[in-house]
Amino acid sequence: MVAVEGLGAGVPLVGGSYGTPAEGDASDGAFVHPMQASNALFFSLLTYQVGRRFTRSLRVRLAYPGVGGSIPCREWRSEAGFVTTAGRGDASFTGSIAEIYHSLLVPMIFAEPARLLAESVATADAVDILETAAGTGALTRELVRLGGHNIVSTDLNEPMVAAAAARLVSERVHWQVADAQSLPFSDRSFDVVACQFGAMFLPDKVRGYAEALRVLRPNGMFAFNVWDRIENNAVPFVITGALCAAAPDEPLEFFRRTPYGYFDIDRIRGELETAGFDRITGEYIEGSSHSTPESGAEAFCQGTPLRGEIERHSSLDVESATAIATTELRRRYGPGEFDAPIRWLQITARRPAD
Ligand SMILES: C[S@@+](CC[C@H](N)C(=O)[O-])C[C@H]1O[C@@H](n2cnc3c(N)ncnc32)[C@H](O)[C@@H]1O
């Protein structure tokens, strides 16, 4: 894991793009022939592999010209031009998704960011912590390890809360179903609000941030993280490319649209400021995921709301989509266990003092 250039821990997010292009500027809704797509994907990934041998720096990562445009996917944009996240069941972590998410996806990509986000929370010296979009408790477990805090852990989807509560029983943790955009808590009741990879799912981010601010005490800390763009998160990038190439007329775009569609730090800073936060800091962090082609494909195709999008698809089903994803991961990484890069943005913001 390394922090990357320009945004070391505690560096304020002010102006400039910090090396991350504006959202969606690489693809702009273009449709590309599947052969072009797979050639571009192959050479892009080859470039990446070669580059990785020499250095893991951001400079190498940004040397993949056109990778973003090589997936034959359409981007959904709001009137303001942002990739939209609302609707389409993108926040539906329901049914069997919760168990597959917990058993396969959490150890693969959520455990490491949780540890680092908890370290950031630890600096706040909090007594009362609220966690939003807690899922099956990846971050909650790390917060409990910090010791000494009262934790209220919440999530929109009851199956996620149930899966979490069944596994993590602690007198310090209270589990509750709650929408992060409409929190059922009094003003000024927490020292920290923490949220791991949940902000991307909020249809109204400013409203969600304003709710976090409302329940924080003066000087309280809001600590959260979001995934960087999909091109910097290899496994979902490879899977999305394979599925979009298999069905270019009806592309499966959940990952690009939502979990990997909210990474523009200027936008995030602006929305936090609009909600009333100050002292905003951010840090890009690189890590790696560990999986096999089979478990990686199952995790992403069946343990996320992509599953619902596949089930609604006219030509693919869960079995065929998982098989396509497995084949592409095998072609890309070979059979057996493999490591692949992940990259995310960790952010803190403070409620102003009175
Ligand atoms: C990618 S998961 C992250 C879960 C967990 N924080 C973790 O690290 O494993 C996103 C979570 O956001 C939750 N979510 C989506 N929309 C939400 C909302 N409006 N309010 C609260 N939680 C929401 C989902 O139910 C899901 O559990």
Residue nearest to atom 17 of ligand 1 (CA): 156
- Ligand 1 test: best mutation among 121, 156, 258, most atoms within 8 Å of CB? 156
Instruction: Supply the pTM of this predicted model.
Output: 0.80
Q: pLDDT at position 33, please?
A: 35
- The CA 92 to ligand 1 mean position distance, Å, reads 9
Residues paired with residue 278 on neighbouring β-strands, in sequence order: 350
Selected from 3.10.28.10, 2.30.30.100, 2.60.40.1730, 3.40.50.150, the CATH number assigned to the domain covering 2-350 reads 3.40.50.150
Nearest atom (ligand 1) to Cα of 157: 25
Q: Grade residue 127 by pLDDT with cuts at 50, 70 and 90.
A: very high
177-230: pLDDT as tens digits: 999 999 999 999 999 999 999 999 999 999 999 999 999 999 999 999 999 999
Cβ burial, residue 320 (10 Å; 0-12/13-18/19+): middle
- The CA 157 to ligand 1 mean position distance, Å, reads 8
For residue 46, what are the contacts with CB-CB under 8 A and spacing of at least 6?
Answer: none
Spell out the domain ranges in the chain: 2-350
**Residue 271 parent element (H or E):** helix 265-275
Least confident of 4-8, 164-168, 207-211, 299-303: 4-8
Mean pLDDT of 62-88: 38
Q: Is the CB of 211 under 6 A from ligand 1?
A: no
Closest CA to 138 of 98, 174, 169, 107: 107
Output the six-digit token pair for 154: 């919440």
Q: Grade residue 27 by pLDDT with cuts at 50, 70 and 90.
A: very low
C-alpha 213 chain-centroid distance? 21
**Residue 44 parent element (H or E):** helix 34-54
Q: Is the CB of 157 under 6 A from ligand 1?
A: yes
Q: Grade residue 147 by pLDDT with cuts at 50, 70 and 90.
A: confident
Looking from the CA of 296 toward its CB, the CA atoms found within 13 Å total 31
287-310: pLDDT as tens digits: 999 999 999 999 999 999 999 999
Contact 125, 146 (CB under 8 A): no
Three-class SS state of 193: strand
- The CA 105 to ligand 1 mean position distance, Å, reads 13
Contact 341, 232 (CB under 8 A): yes
User: Does 44 or 191 have the greater pLDDT score?
Assistant: 191
